[in-house]
Structure 1
């Protein structure tokens, strides 16, 4: 009977203790739990200062040969031999075709004979004039006879000069029967074979030589972009730079060498509204071929008033407008519209909307709103973990 009477008493005491613990727990939860008042949002910021950022351009371009020469005959005749292999590399001055020289050898021989005849006549005329001079002084002959003799001697000298010029012309034509390479480069297909008759004034070239190392890349830039760049240079804060150009090939790969811009056209294309910039590239491996389309990437100037902002700090609205948050007065978040139209590495390059020394928020942007109170700290500051001291162990039971 005693054991039975004590069990209800113990049960009532246990329930009372549990109720007291629950009441204490709910009280403490009401004071410091999730339902209590929240403090300002803790955010991380970086201080921005203006720096130098290149003004990058990515424009279409087309490869053009450094030198192109169409080989044409300068004399008429039948091709006797072709002295090159199609598609090979030829050197300047190398003989490409041999035209039948028979006619031109004969012309050169005739010109040589005419020259010798003219020289003989000139000697006789000068001798006659020299003999007439003392006779004219003694009035043994008339002065008119002496004057005629001197004139004949001078005419003979002129005939010698004419014959000499004719000989040089014949020798030049004789040399032109061997058609040389005007430049060094890779030679194309031969449009004429051995035995073909060619003429000095024919419109069709015998073949074409192209020099591929180095090569030019003609880059098309819109006139509006060029004017914007010049206006930026005129306003200050932007300085020109020697443009080192990089290329992307048609398969998307990067070309392993850089080039330099050497020329800018002064005329705008009326059909496309663009200006041509010409860059020069080494091409020892002949990867760039004339007519190939490429993409050129280069910096025409350097903006010294740009800001490098970490990419996670900038968001864009549905219209594409770039925005970020800065630490405002009174430790409040201020949303700012900025101009950020290009990236470099892990940074956006901001050209408008920031001032030197401003604190741009880069961490804690989850649900941040304009004007919200914040607790700013430098970005990547270690967070403190608050540990609650352990309380006394809960009672496990009561003694009877």
Structure 2
């Protein structure tokens, strides 16, 4: 019983000793008032310099075909055969439809017969004129008879030329009974069937051919943005660049190929207030289809006076203004309002509010106040932990102090 009482007394004394030591340690850190640590706040900074940043824009766009051709008949007749498979790729010059050629064969034969008759008449007229020539010199016939013979020979030659043209016209019409493909591309559904009557001046196309490789992408840019860009180029704040365009497909993925800008329209659309910029894209798999809406991303110019600031350094105030902290005179924190309208990778592109060589705070900004004293160090600097003094126990407390309490 006595041994148990002694053990309880020893345990109580040890607990009181530990409580006393713990209170002494806490009062030493807080200064006895329960406040936080005193002294300047350590912050990490980066030094910013002016550099070049592309002016990247995301604009709405629409795919249009590189070439589109409506197949129309150039002669009238009945369709005998359709010589293509709907939806297939046809080659330029390939015969698509066969129109009944019987009428045009007869016209061509008649034109050839008329030509032969005209040649015979011309030969007779030239022979008569040649015979009259020595006779008129001998005054055996009148000059008027010779003049008439020469005129008839010339008229006969003209008739030969006319009939020759008629033969060529008849041959052309006969050739047009085979309706060819004007371009290479993918053909649509046929609007006529075999046995249908078609005319040379009909308004409805027989079919439509669309070339899908390459394709055009028409990008819509507002006239105000284009004016701002041109003013920036004129003032020297930006330099032009060869625009390589990337497009985002309706499913959110990026198209595998990049395109290049072909030209920009010089007329503003009165209904939308936009200017059309046309880019050309390869389309070997026919993934881009005419009429498809996409989003185009490209750089029209390079801003030569921009600052690239890590995104972690920039925040937004309640009004939406971009702000950051810089190291001010006397190692004081200064809050700065900047203009940062776009990002580039992991950086904000700052166009106003900074000067070359300023130190922008990127680490330790959570508890900063404007004008607060700080201890700036380069961002991401490793923190050096000093070893405890010799003879110290756990936590750097001398071993003897634990015994003394």
In the aligned structure 2, how far is the partner of 1:377 from the partner of 1:321?
A: 27
How far, CA to CA, are the matches of 1:247 and 1:190 in structure 2? 33
Deviations 1:118-160 (A, max 9, x none): 1111111111111111111111111111111111111011000
Please give the residue correspondences for 1:58-207 in structure 2 after superposition, counting only pairs within 5 Å: 58-207=58-207
Q: Is the 8 A contact 2:30 2:37 kept in 1?
A: no
**CA distance in 1 between partners of 2:211 and 2:363 (Å):** 56
Measured after TM superposition, the shift of residue 384 of structure 1 is: 2.8
TM-score by length of 1: 0.91
**Cα pair distance change 1:185/1:36, threshold 3 Å:** closer
Conserved 8 A contact 2:27-2:33: no
- Secondary structure of the 2:251 match is coil
The Cα offsets for residues 196-220 of structure 1, whole Å up to 9 and x where unpaired, read as 1000000000011111111111111
> C-alpha displacement at 1:356, in angstroms?
1.1
The whole-number CA distance in structure 2 between the counterparts of 1:18 and 1:157 is 134
SS of corresponding position for 2:233: helix
Give the distance between the partners of 2:256 and 2:189, measured in 1 at CA: 30
CA distance in 2, matches of 1:142, 1:26: 147
1:285-364 correspondence runs (5 A): 285-364=285-364
Gaps of 5+ in 2: 1-13, 393-397
Q: Which residue of 1 aligns with 2:53?
A: 53
What residue number does 1:11 align with?
none
Give distance in 2, aligned partners of 1:140 and 1:34: 148
Quote the Cα distance in structure 2 between the aligned partners of 1:120 and 1:393: 141
Ranges in structure 1 where 5+ consecutive residues have no aligned partner: 1-13
- The answer on whether the counterparts of 2:63 and 2:291 sit within 8 Å (CA) in structure 1 is yes
Give yes or no for contact 2:222–2:274 (8 Å, CA) kept in 1: yes
Aligned-pair distance for 1:351? 1.2
- Give distance in 2, aligned partners of 1:23 and 1:77: 111
Alpha-carbon deviation of 1:263? 1.7
How big is the shift at 1:36?
Answer: 8.6
Question: Using the alignment, how far apart are the partners of 1:19 and 1:101 within structure 2?
Answer: 116
Alignment partner, residue 366 of structure 2 = 366
Task: Look up the SS of the partner of 2:119 in the other structure.
Answer: helix
Task: State the 1:328 CA deviation.
Answer: 1.3
Q: Would you identify which runs of 4 or more consecutive aligned residues in structure 1 move more than 2 Å?
A: 17-37, 384-392, 394-397
Residues 36 and 226 from structure 1, CA distance in 2 versus in 1: closer, same or farther, beyond 3 angstroms?
closer
CA deviation vs aligned residue, 1:155-180 (integer Å, no higher than 9, x gap) = 01100000000110000000000000
Q: 1:117 to 1:24 in 2, by over 3 A?
A: closer
- TM-score, with structure 2 as normaliser: 0.90
SS at match of 2:400: coil
Matched, 1:393 2:400: yes
Provide the rounded CA distance (Å) in 1 between the counterparts of 2:197 and 2:91.
25
After superposition, give the CA deviation of every residue in 1:229-262 in whole Å (9 maximum; x if it has no partner).
Answer: 1111111120111111111111111111111110
1:5-59 alpha-carbon deviations (Å, 9 max, x no partner):
xxxxxxxxx9xx9999899868856769975972211111111111111111111
1:280 corresponding residue in structure 2: 280
- Give 3-state SS (helix, strand or coil) of 1:304's partner: strand
- Distance in 1, Cα, partners of 2:27 & 2:75: 114
State the distance in 2 between where 1:184 and 1:214 align.
12
- Partners in 2 of 1:51 and 1:65 — Cα distance? 39
CA offset at residue 68 of structure 1?
Answer: 0.6
Residues paired across the two proteins, number: 386
| Equivalent position of 1:39 in the other structure | 39
- Partner residue in 2 for 1:8: none
Q: How far, CA to CA, are the matches of 2:22 and 2:281 in structure 1?
A: 82
CA RMSD, Structure 1 to Structure 2 (Å): 2.6
